[in-house]
Structure 1
Amino acid sequence: MPMDYPSLPAGAFIGAVLVLIPLPWHWRARNIGTLAIIAWLFVMNMIYFVNTIVWAGNVNNPAPVWCDITTKLIIGANTALPIATMCVCKHLELVSSTRRVSLDSRDKKRRIIFDSIMCFGLPLIFMALHYVVQGHRFDIIENFGCQPATYYSIPGVMIVWVPPLFFSVATLVYASIALSHFIRRRMCFAAHLQNSNSALTTNRYLRLMIMAVTEMVWGTALTSFNMYGNVSPGLRPWISWANVHSNFSRVALYGFIEIPAPLLSQMFLFWWAMPASAFIFFLFFGFGEEARKEYGRIFTWIRRVVLRQSTTENKYGVQLPSSR
């Protein structure tokens, strides 16, 4: 079947690739918050990529298990991304504070464990809790594929939308405190970071801060708009568990022709939010000093291994082609 919207899989695939480019130096820094952002954005964009190909121009149900898994991951990502930005800002507040900060190996290990539980374990809990307000198995929307099904009620608001907003507010609080630390000691901030045994420089600190706040503002605006659009027509009453989960195996199918134009525009906006988040992340970390060094290493590897050209190393540690 011809694809009416080729920009959808293209945008999702490009987003998935771009978000992986900064992975090597964030992996070396062992910053779980940014690694979690990379992981969740990559997984979500790959899900969107597959969905827009499989369900291009149709509402068939060829892979129900795929939909069961991916719809839960979509629910998890909605909370995981705000949690990850909160962990980033929490760490920035810690290293910039006037409190005595010890960043030895044991403290770093404890922080890695805590951030891992927050960024990957806690979203699993919200994925499981979604079953409480899951009125039927899932929805399939033409050209978009599988989407989570939520029974729009007070419990639905508390489980699906309140947690992302809560962690977004926590991100804002940590970011505000961290920024105040920076402003108060901006003249000697680089020395303070060095004394705290942090691998951060002032430039990296500010980029992480601005990235986290940008993702937080972007995500909060979309979550609030999504919540308003779903609850403004009125919440449904929570009668009983049996009532909410009656005919649970049902799969709702929606063709584009059935969806009103204003609602369809909103669906496109929310769909593009995930690739856009990946693009935003890349803009902050795809052109920095670490990125340029990594590109230099890749370029050197291609010349040395693929093109079989000998190289010499300059004073910056970047290997250059030999004059021989």
Structure 2
Amino acid sequence: MHSEFPPVAFLAALSLLLPLPWHWRAGNVATLSIIAWLFILNVVYGVDAIIWANNVNIVIPVWCDITSKIIIGSTFALPAACLCICIHLERVASVHRAKTSQRDKRIRQLFELFMCFGLPMVFMGLHHIVQGHRFDIIEEYGCRPTTYVSIPAIFLIWVPPLTLSAITLGFACASFVHFMRRRITFAHHLDASRSGLTTSRYFRLMLMAVVEMIWNIVVTSYTLWFSTLDLRPWTNWDDVHSNFSRIDLYATAFTPQIVITNFYLIWWVVPASTFIFVAFFAFGKDAVDEYTACIVWIRRNVLKQTAPASVPPAKYVSARRFAVGTENAQV
């Protein structure tokens, strides 16, 4: 029994709340979508680990129908969000896109909404083409989507995330080239672009996207390799979807060890991706300022404490901004 699964999953979900306020007020659709998808996935993993600890009982099939599709959607949403981040960084750093107007920001937000939520929903629907049966239940892991592993499945399930990740790395390289060409005046250029970016934030966003995409390429390539060990021929729709309402059950005692090991490794992908994301945003100067402002606001408005002489007034100004939500938007 993996008793560590629920606490790790819920801790990962809660850790995403640390960088949430900054990105929420900034209106960062791409980063907010990463937080949303990872939060939901961690909660799903934690609940599943509790419900299906030491059993494969079919207790809440509707939950499994929903969560298995969410898992499919997340494989497209996370690389799509990182791609949106790197596209924005490249445009901000480009000489040709030196100014960012409110109209530009609105168009970017609509584009990111489609990429981070609309596109995953499209692939969630397309997954039905290669969905051999309803879903699987794995002991200690819970509900998982099922895929009829064939040539069409490779191009529908694994190739798009890999393609998005590769394009993301391309935009990240272009962003770095812009920096190298204008490194002496880069900070001034970011300030003139009115994007709310500083050099520190710029590189933190870019490095986060690059690390997440390299990690995503490794994981997706591994799952593709492991899945295609049992590559099956695509015959016809009726054959692939025969007995579609079937629910396959995988009890640990009757599952090959190599499959159990694969389940274990894949389970850790979501918490690991979460901690990578949080590490880039939860401990920087911006995050520390947020924590300080929050603490000061609580002391003044909840605990009714007066400002100590040792605390600079600027921090209380930040606390006021935290309270009314009028702080200038970042990226």
Regarding TM over 0.5, the answer is: yes
> Distance between the aligned counterparts of 1:100 and 1:48, measured in 2?
41
Q: Does 1:273 pair with 2:269?
A: yes
> Distance between the aligned counterparts of 1:314 and 1:302, measured in 2?
16
Per-residue CA shift, 1:258-280, capped at 9, x if unaligned?
22222222211110110111111
Alpha-carbon offset, residue 306 of structure 1: 4.3
Per-residue CA shift, 1:79-107, capped at 9, x if unaligned?
10000000000100000012143311111
| Residue 317 (structure 1) aligned to one of 306, 315, 318 | 315
Q: Does 1:41 pair with 2:38?
A: yes
Alpha-carbon offset, residue 318 of structure 1: 4.0
Q: Where do 1:289-308 residues align within 5 Å?
A: 289-308=285-304
**Residue of structure 2 in register with 1:77 after alignment:** 74
Alpha-carbon offset, residue 297 of structure 1: 2.1
| Residue 207 (structure 1) aligned to one of 204, 209, 223 | 204
Alpha-carbon offset, residue 300 of structure 1: 1.9
Alpha-carbon offset, residue 5 of structure 1: 1.5
Q: Where do 1:119-198 residues align within 5 Å?
A: 119-198=116-195
**Residue of structure 2 in register with 1:99 after alignment:** 96
Q: TM-score, normalised by structure 1?
A: 0.94
| Residue 278 (structure 2) aligned to one of 278, 282, 295 | 282
- SS of corresponding position for 1:62: coil
State the identity as a percent. 51
Alpha-carbon offset, residue 316 of structure 1: 3.1
Whether the aligned pair in 2 keeps the contact of 1:311 and 1:319 (CA below 8 Å) is no
> Distance between the aligned counterparts of 1:284 and 1:316, measured in 2?
25
Per-residue CA shift, 1:156-190, capped at 9, x if unaligned?
11111011001001101100100111111111110
Alpha-carbon offset, residue 144 of structure 1: 0.3
> Distance between the aligned counterparts of 2:159 and 2:97, measured in 1?
34
Per-residue CA shift, 1:241-272, capped at 9, x if unaligned?
00011000000000111222222222111101
Per-residue CA shift, 1:117-176, capped at 9, x if unaligned?
111000000000000000000000001000001000111111110110010011011001
**Residue of structure 2 in register with 1:108 after alignment:** 105
> Distance between the aligned counterparts of 1:247 and 1:100, measured in 2?
54
> Distance between the aligned counterparts of 1:174 and 1:186, measured in 2?
18
Greater displacement, 99-108 / 34-43: 99-108
Per-residue CA shift, 1:206-256, capped at 9, x if unaligned?
0001000000001110000000001034x2111110001100000000011
**Residue of structure 2 in register with 1:223 after alignment:** 220
RMSD, aligned CA: 1.4
- SS of corresponding position for 1:247: coil
**Residue of structure 1 in register with 2:324 after alignment:** none
Aligned length in residues: 316
**Residue of structure 2 in register with 1:236 after alignment:** 232
> Distance between the aligned counterparts of 2:88 and 2:119, measured in 1?
18
Per-residue CA shift, 1:45-97, capped at 9, x if unaligned?
11111111111111011110000000000000001000000000010000001
Alpha-carbon offset, residue 33 of structure 1: 1.3
Alpha-carbon offset, residue 19 of structure 1: 1.3
Greater displacement, 136-145 / 6-15: 6-15
